Chain A
Amino acid sequence: MYEVRFHGRGGQGAVMAAQALASAAFKEGYYAVAFPYFGAERRGAPVLAFTRMDKQKIRRKNQVYNPSFVVILDDRLIDLVNVSEGLNPSGAAVVNTRKSPEEIDLGMEIKVGVVDATSVALEVLGVPITNSAILGAFAKTTGVVSIEAVEEGIRDIFGGRIGKEAGEKNAKAARVAYDRTVVGTSRGEKKMVSKKQWLPTVQELPLGLATRSMETDAGLVGPGSFVENKTGSWRTFKPVFNRDKCVMCLLCWFYCPEGAIKRVDGGKTLEFDFDYCKGCGICAEECPTKAIEMVRD
């Protein structure tokens, strides 16, 4: 049985990629299953999705702990999450990156396929959504499914969800990425650390989980703990502010979901806090005078 773990960000479509891979594998005679990590998804936040493929019916319904392959939709996630956790050393990683395989450090030397899926997506789809392109790289790197099956799987899942034409375009993105994928071996120097989680015992758990602000070995929990969650690392696009056009209506300030826009200079102008600005673009969308423009970060 092959188990695949997708690392993406909310909104990048990791779940659709996992489903399209399952559909592709099914077309090649596998029994295949795909599911999201059962977590709360937010646009930009690191998310997981999984695919399982086997020649016989897959019965286990628990989560994946030792993937044969990992697929990384955004190479900046490598610094944020332990992407190689539990990864089978005889498996492989597939990374969306501008780097070469040898420049990728996964904390283990392992077969790795790289492709600049973001550029492929921008060229073919006109948007930086890499969930289809990366599957082309998966086919090339692992050989577990053919590129033709991947195209079919994308037509099935993407076509069914966002329309036939979009399905075709995304299948093309996979094909282009397939042709551009370079396979090599990763470096294994970095020490990968999994993010610590606060896991109190029954005895330590505050009654009813009514939690005060407290320092734990996994960091701050309770009120104010969000300051440790630097959502700035989620960004693909960043807001560029044109002070001359701004009329200080404060719509952007009001709508920013991260509170990343600050009034400065005695309330006369604005400043963006890039530690927390996740690049969602809501501010640019809301601004009535087009004083904010989103540009690739």
Chain B
Amino acid sequence: MSVSKVVTGNYAAAYGALLSRIQFAAAYPITPQTFIVEHLSEFVHDGLLDADYVRVESEHSAMSAVVAAEATGVRSFTATSSQGLALMHEVLFLPSALRLPIVMPVVNRTVAAPIGIWCEYNDTMPQRDSGWIQAYVEDNQEVLDMVIQAYKIAENKDVLLPVMLSMDAFILSHTVEPVEFPDQEAVDAFLPSYKAEHAHLWPEDPMIIGSFTPPEYIQEVRYQTDQAMKAAREVIKRVTKDFASAFGRNYGGLVEEYRTDDAEVVLVTLGTVTSTARDVVDEMRDEGKKVGMVKLRYFRPYPFEEIRKVAEGVSAIGFYDRSISYGSGGPSYIEGRHALYGLEIPVMNFLAGLGGRDVRVPDIKLMFEKLLEAAREGKAKKDIVWIGTRGVEP
């Protein structure tokens, strides 16, 4: 029988790893992630989890260790945040090309300078080209559920890519919420043990992994990885469905639409802002305003078709971003515009919550009001709008 407990996002992440029966974890602390690896060490110490738990001396080493472990064919896990992810950067490209299905929660935290510990996506977004599947979540239940789903997706033979699970600093990592913990047997049935076939380090079946490679081969490797990322789209949809039938929680697939049916304008959100925006959508719907929301669950692979389909039915669309690509707008907006090429509706970008600033109900309302205005006028006054920035007209 599943049980419900009031736990932090960090606990949910660690427990997801426990239920996934990870066999190897590399641990290096960084606020606000530290509790994930601390909880894991307790699980291992208490005999709840049978895994090799290795303390390393940096995030660079943490990623190197999980790459090596996963290459021997064992299910591997680590977690990090912000500067830690930045330090991992050069190693991130290994598992995606070597096709090692590692799962790693990243607690989204601003990257210095200025130095801070609060939520911003300028840690994960710059890693979007490293070949990792990248998902964003809105509550602690989704954190736990997604660790399990992430392994299922990552280990699929058509995919074999690592997964980065982005979760908001403090808003999830340090917040307790009720979370339903599925049964171990149910998780075992959903996620059987991992059997590495294409790559392993077994003395009886020797292989070379990650050797020095001239131009004669690398381009094909890149193509393979690109194919895998594309194939992940269908796999993600399938796994989401299978998870829903096994555990009763349906997350929708690559995106989840919320009250988009007859919507006039739609806001594409990611992370915890999604959760608050649900309340805003309901409130505005009660006022007779036809607003809807699309929760972007996966940023890689990007759901081009889904976003385009929604946009084709509305008069204006906006993309919420919690980080910026200087001079170009937020990454979600940039990708969204790419998806909507040639579509003649206003496409807007809303930047809010950078550096961990609270994204309040009125802030989200303002985004919808701006979209409604653009829909009426057929044109946005400003494409890229900074919300709640002192001295800047939104």
Contacts and interface: CB of A to CB of B under 8 A. Distances in A.
Contacts, number: 79
Contact of A209 (B114, B358, B360): B114
A272 to B, nearest CB: 32
A42 to B, nearest CB: 13
A26 B391 CA distance: 42
A202 B390 CA distance: 6
B231 interface: no
Interface in A200-247: 200-204, 208-209
Interface in A239-292: none
B227 interface: no
Nearest to A15: B174
A26 B178 contact: yes
Given A23-B176, A33-B176, A199 B390 contact: yes
Q: Interface size for chain A: under 10, 10 to 19, 20 to 34, or 35 or more residues?
A: 20 to 34
Given A38-B118, A208-B113, A209-B114, A19 B176 contact: yes
B175 A35 contact: yes
Interface stretch (A58-66, A69-77, A84-92, A163-171): A58-66
Interface in B259-293: 272-273, 275-276, 278-279
A22 B175 CA distance: 10
B389 interface: yes
Q: Which of A26, A61, A62, A201 has the most CB of B within 10 A?
A: A61
A162 interface: no
A156 interface: yes
Given A36-B170, A203-B391, A61 B273 contact: yes
Interface string B167-179: 0111100111110
B117 interface: yes
Interface string B113-147: 11001110000000000000000001100000000
B361 interface: yes
B178 A62 contact: no
Main secondary structure of the interface of B (DSSP, over half): loop
Contacts of B178: 26, 31-32
A34 interface: yes
B1 to A, nearest CB: 17
A201 B175 contact: no
B6 A156 contact: yes
Q: Which of A26, A34, A60 has the most CB of B within 10 A?
A: A60
A47 to B, nearest CB: 13
Contact of A26 (B6, B114, B138, B390): B6
B391 A33 contact: no
A26 B177 CA distance: 9
A62 B119 CA distance: 12
Interface in B379-394: 389-392
B174 A32 contact: no
A41 B101 CA distance: 37
A60 B279 contact: yes
B166 to A, nearest CB: 15
Interface string A103-140: 00000000000000000000000000000000000000
B358 A34 contact: no
A62 B174 contact: no
B356 interface: yes
Given A35-B175, A59-B276, A19 B6 contact: yes
Contacts of A15: 174
Interface of A: 15, 19, 22-23, 26, 31-36, 38, 40, 58-63, 65, 156, 199-204, 208-209
